[in-house]
Amino acid sequence: MSGTIAFSDKLTINEVSVGMNAVKDALANCDEVVVDATGVKEIDVSAVQLLIAVKKECLNRGKNLTLNTSDTVGNLMILFGIPL
């Protein structure tokens, strides 16, 4: 079973706090976690931390992670040197 967590427009500390519930639910109930950030135009460091935490938790639990990003998110990850 797959669980999708979708973010659009902004992925900042405000959205991260709301998105944490969806992340926890997907990690608890799904074999595959899909993070859809294709519509994100603004991202901050707390969101980067969330994406890293989701990746680590998926690896620890043996779950598959699919991360779909916008150019904004992808470019920031490249800038930080974080391969997601």
pTM, full prediction: 0.86
Interval 5-61: pLDDT, tens: 999 999 999 888 888 888 889 999 999 999 999 999 999 999 999 899 999 999 999
Among 53, 45, 42, which Cα is nearest to 20's?
53
CATH number 3.30.750.24 given to 2-80: yes
**Taking the mean position of all CA atoms in its chain, how far away is CA 65?**
9
Q: Where are the domains of the chain?
A: 2-80
Cα dihedral 7, 13, 14, 17 in deg (nearest 10)? 80
Of 26, 19, 32, 22, give the one whose Cα is nearest residue 62: 32
